[in-house]
Every structure is written in structure tokens, then in C-alpha cells.
Amino acid sequence: MSEYTKWIEYKGVKILYVNYAGIQNEEEYMRAIDEFEAEIMKQPKGHQMRVLVDVTGSLLTPRITERNKAVEQKARESGIPDSPTALVGLSGFKMAVVQALAFFRPDLYIAESTEAAKDWLVKQVIE
């Protein structure tokens, strides 16, 4: 698939795994987001997917935040709805940003581990 984004199966359920863990270079992070966007845009209109994002030890900048928002907006405009998303590796400022987003997106889950994230995702009903 790609360096940062791949489909995994857990308990018979497909999950889109996005691995931003350890990325400390903004340009590398942008390439990783590009891969994520490309995979999302392959999905059929109206299709939700389960998404697991690992941000452990990764960089967070305003540019990265804005790029992620742009991907989300593009997906919505293309008819791809928000999907259940579990995030792993949040702390400090990243945690605060996601907690603010979660207020508007109840389909966001902050997980303490990859295993907990996968367990939560397989329980989510998607259309």
C-alpha cells in the first residue's frame, strides 16, 4: 500500500491504519497526510470506514493541523462522511486539540493503546 497508510484486519473487521508515529519533520508529515488523503478519496461516496491514527511522538504544527482539516473537508465535499476514528499517542497540546475536536465529532475516540483503539473501532456500526 504505502509507507504511512495501510489496511489492517482486526477480529474480521477492516481498519484503515494511519501511522504518523515518530514523524518529526513537517515535510515528511505532509507526505504522510497526502497518502492518507489518497486512500480516503478512493472510497465510494457515502462509505464510512474505521480509521486508526497513531500520532505517538509526532510533530504537530499549525500547517499540519490545517492540512488535516483540508483533507476532512475535501472528503466531505466528495460525499465521504466522517468515520469512526480512534487516535493513539496523544498528550499535551495534541490531546487538547483533539479533545476540542471531539466535542463536535462524537465519532472520535482517544485511546490509551493501539489494542484499545482497535477494540473500540470494531464495536462501531458503520453504514
> Along the 127 residues of the chain, how does pLDDT read in single tens digits?
589 999 999 999 999 999 999 999 999 999 999 999 999 999 999 989 999 999 999 998 999 989 998 999 999 999 998 889 999 997 765 656 666 666 566 788 889 999 999 999 999 988 7
Supply the Cα-derived Rg of the chain in whole angstroms: 14
What long-range pairs does 111-120 form, CB within 8 A, spacing at least 24?
Answer: 111/86, 111/87, 112/88, 113/88, 114/52, 114/54, 114/88, 116/86, 117/52, 117/86, 117/87, 117/88, 118/10, 118/11, 118/15, 118/52, 118/86, 120/84, 120/86
Q: At 81, give phi and psi (nearest 5°).
A: -75, 165
pLDDT the model gives residue 121: 97
Domains and their CATH numbers in the chain? 5-123 (3.30.750.24)
pTM of the model: 0.88
